[in-house]
Amino acid sequence: MKLLPTLSEVYNQASYPITGHAKRNVQVLKEALASYDGELDSDVYGSGAVIEPFQERMAKLLGKPAAVFFPSGTMAQQIALRIWSDGAGSKKVAYHPLCHLEIHEKDGLKELHHLEPILLADTTRPVRLADVVGMEEPVACVLLELPQREIGGQLPPYEELVEISAHCREKGIKLHLDGARLFEALPYYGVAADELCSLFDSVYISFYKGLGGIAGAVLAGEYDFTEESKVWKRRHGGDLISLYPYILSAEYYMERRMPRMAQYYHEAQELAALYNACSTITTVPQVPVSNMFHVHSALPKEVLEPILIAVIEETGFGFTHVLRDKDDGGSYYEVSIGDRYAELPKEKLRDAFRMLDERVRAAAE
């Protein structure tokens, strides 16, 4: 008996995957390294020509005095909050309930740093000014994730960020930017990175989301802050003798993809419109504000999944590799736009969406 293929399997076989940049394979690193001379010396524990000029360049881009390269954002952000907590003499930090630190890090912030998060907003919307103003306890630091990944990449209005920033400065609360997808947020806000970052005391960015590097992150802020972060980086085991595989690939793909963020953003809006034309399906946000959004369907996973598998197999378009249950009985998945979307045959894509619409419509009846 032949087993039916899984959603992940048909996605991986699809001729036209819709999301992302490319396969995450070894070629990604080979391509990046090909543009560097083999004689280039490795970084050595945070020193050397590979890491120091790159950190300076990132600091300048983010409008901060200094920046430090980290192997991961998990490490960089725990450390940022720890430093602000130590400085304020308070273990309280505030962030969204779907913050990466709260749901994806096995409670490292609590288990390693003994910080006590206060959750702002709810799981359907971003943090707003009223949430920050309404905090009852004094907190050392507020973390804002822009865009907020787990709710489809939503963003608060820019003016509200300015108000949150002013409020925090007035109250002596540090404001930290979880900018894992910072560059993806800029086209909607229509500001440069340094302008947005000027609202924050510390900033983390990731190199393997929209930028499509291998791994790695940067933490930027005042010089004293970044120097202290290097001590914690060593304590965490993140001060590797050589980080250059991540640094060089970060540099290589950042150069190529940072200029395409506006394109990804507009393509996300185009694709979301195709989804919203399908029965039972809506996107969150309805009009994307970055290169990503979530696809929600009223159909339960066990109904939608075989439809997606069939449409992917019949049309060759890879809609998603995973589908998740929603609490309300429906299902959802995440979409983020990268290099692939621009290469799709658009007429055929519309045909595929027509087929998807027919199938979900029939299933809903």
Summarize as ranges the residues that interact with a second copy (CB under 8 A).
23-30, 33, 36-42, 44, 50, 70-76, 78, 105-108, 111-113, 208, 214-215, 231-232, 234-246, 248
Q: Which is nearer to a second copy, 149 or 359 (CB)?
A: 149
Smallest gap from residue 195 Cβ to a second copy (A)? 29
Q: Which is nearer to a second copy, 74 or 148 (CB)?
A: 74
Smallest gap from residue 293 Cβ to a second copy (A)? 21
Smallest gap from residue 80 Cβ to a second copy (A)? 12
Smallest gap from residue 41 Cβ to a second copy (A)? 5
Q: Which is nearer to a second copy, 78 or 283 (CB)?
A: 78
Q: Return d(Cα 353, Cα 356) in angstroms, integer.
A: 5
> What are the Cα distances from residue 339, in Å, to 20, 23, 85, 146?
6, 11, 39, 21
Answer yes or no: are the C-beta atoms of 360 and 298 closer than 8 Å.
Answer: no
Smallest gap from residue 60 Cβ to a second copy (A)? 24
Q: Which is nearer to a second copy, 55 or 269 (CB)?
A: 55
Q: Return d(Cα 200, Cα 177) in angstroms, integer.
A: 6
Answer yes or no: are the C-beta atoms of 352 and 311 closer than 8 Å.
Answer: yes
Q: Which is nearer to a second copy, 38 or 190 (CB)?
A: 38
Closest CA to 147 of 195, 206, 94, 60: 206
Angle CA 296–100–229, to nearest 5: 155
Which ranges in 239-300 belong to alpha helices (H)? 244-257, 261-276
Q: What is the CB neighbour count within 10 angstroms for residue 39?
A: 5
- Residue 132 exposure: Cα atoms within 13 Å on the Cβ side: 27
Q: Which is nearer to a second copy, 174 or 230 (CB)?
A: 230
Say which residue the tokens 């019949």 belong to.
314
Smallest gap from residue 243 Cβ to a second copy (A)? 8
Both structure tokens of 177:
């930017």
Smallest gap from residue 1 Cβ to a second copy (A)? 27
Q: What is the dihedral of CA 57, 62, 64, 65, to 10 degrees?
A: 0
Q: Which is nearer to a second copy, 45 or 223 (CB)?
A: 45
